[in-house]
Amino acid sequence: MRELVIEDEKASIALVIQNLFKKCRKNRKFKKYKRLFFVGDDTFICDYLMTAVNSNHHLAETAGVFKSVQYVSTKTESDARMNTVNSQDISILSVDELEKIKENKNLVFFFVDTTNPQKKDATIASLKAVQKLLSGTKDSRCVVTVLLPKIEVFPGEVTSLSERELNFFMEKVCEKTPESEYYFEIEKMCRGFVRDHHSNITLLRFDNVFAPDCFHTPSFDLQKIVSDCVKSGKIVITDDDETLVTTATYIRNACCAIFAAAFTGLTGHVYNVAYNTITVSDIKRCIFNGYKDQFSLSVKLSGKVTRQYNALNSLVFKKLRMKRVMSFRSAMNYAVAFLADYDCPNILAKMDALAMDEEQ
C-alpha cells in the first residue's frame, strides 16, 4: 500500500503541474523560459517537484514554459537524491558548469533546508553560482525555497507574524541558533544580490511541510502522532492538543506555490507560505474522520485552554492567487495511509480509475 500511496501522490502532483502548463500556454502574462535548473540540498520538495516536472517535460516544451530540465549537483547530495535524479533521466551539471552558461531565459529552483547547517558552505557556493548565472544572462530568475527551523512561540496575544514581523522576531527576540543564522545568511545574500546586482530572485519560506513519506514539521511530530494512534487503536484529544496553533503545507500545495512564485512572484520579495492553520487536535480529528473503522475517539477537553501561536501569516503570498489544490484532511489521509500502511479507499478508487483509462 505504501508504494501505491507514493505513486499516486507523484502522479497527482504531475497532473497539477500539467494543468498549470496548459494555463501557461493560454496566458501570455506568464513568463516563459528556455531552461529549468534544480539546485540545492536534499530537501524532499525538490524530489517531488522534479519528478512531476520531468513527467510533463514534453508539455512544458510545447507550452513554451521551458525546453530542458537539468539538475545541478553540489557534490553533497545523498545517494537517494542522486538515485532520484538518475531515475528521471535528467542531465546533471556541476556548479562550475552552471556559472558558465550564457544563454538567456533561465529559471532556477533553489532549495535550502536550514535544519542542515552542515551543508551551509556548499549551499552558499551554489547560490553564488546561481547569482553569476542571473547576472550573466537576460530574462532569468530564481525561486529560493527555504525550510525554516523551528519557530518559537510568539509573545503576548500575537497569533501570526507577517514576513517582516517574523524576521524581527527571529533575529531580535529569539535566541540565535546555527539553524536560524543559516537562514538569515541565505536571506541576506538574496537581498544583496537583488539590491547590488538587480538579480531576479524571489524567496519562499515554509515552516511545516509534509508528504506521505517525508516530513519537515518542527512544530509537531506527525510520525509520532500517527504511530501512537495506530499502536493503541485510540485517538485521545486533550487540552495539550489544543494549545499550540501553527501552520502547515502539504507537498502538493508546496509544489504549486513554487510555480506561482516563478510565474507571478515579485522580484526581491520574501513570502511566507502556509496553506493551513492547525493544532494537534485538528490532526487527530483528521486521522479519525479518515479511518473511523480503525480507531475509537475520546475527547477530554476542559474548555480552559490557553492558546499559544507560532503561525505564519501568508496573506501577501495569497495575493498571487495560487489556490490550494488539496485540503488538509485529504492530505492527512495520504500521510496516514503511508505511515500506518492502511488501505485508503480514496487512493485505491483513484488508482482503479487511472488503470481503466489506460486500458481504454
pLDDT value at residue 352: 42
Q: What percent of the chain has pLDDT over 90?
A: 59
The verdict on domain 2-219+248-277+310-348 having CATH code 3.40.50.720 is yes
- Tell me: the pLDDT tens digits for 56-115? 777 677 666 788 889 999 888 888 888 888 888 788 999 999 989 999 999 999 999 999
Cα–Cα distance for residue pair 344/356, rounded to 1 Å: 19
Mean pLDDT of the chain: 88
Domain residue ranges of the chain, discontinuous segments joined by +: 2-219+248-277+310-348
pTM for this model (two decimals)? 0.92
- The strand pairing partners of 70, in sequence order, are 37, 91
| The pairing of beta strand 215-216 with beta strand 209-210 | antiparallel
Amino acid at the residue 142: C
pLDDT surpasses 60 at 344: no
Mean pLDDT of 191-214: 95
End-to-end alpha carbon distance in the chain: 25
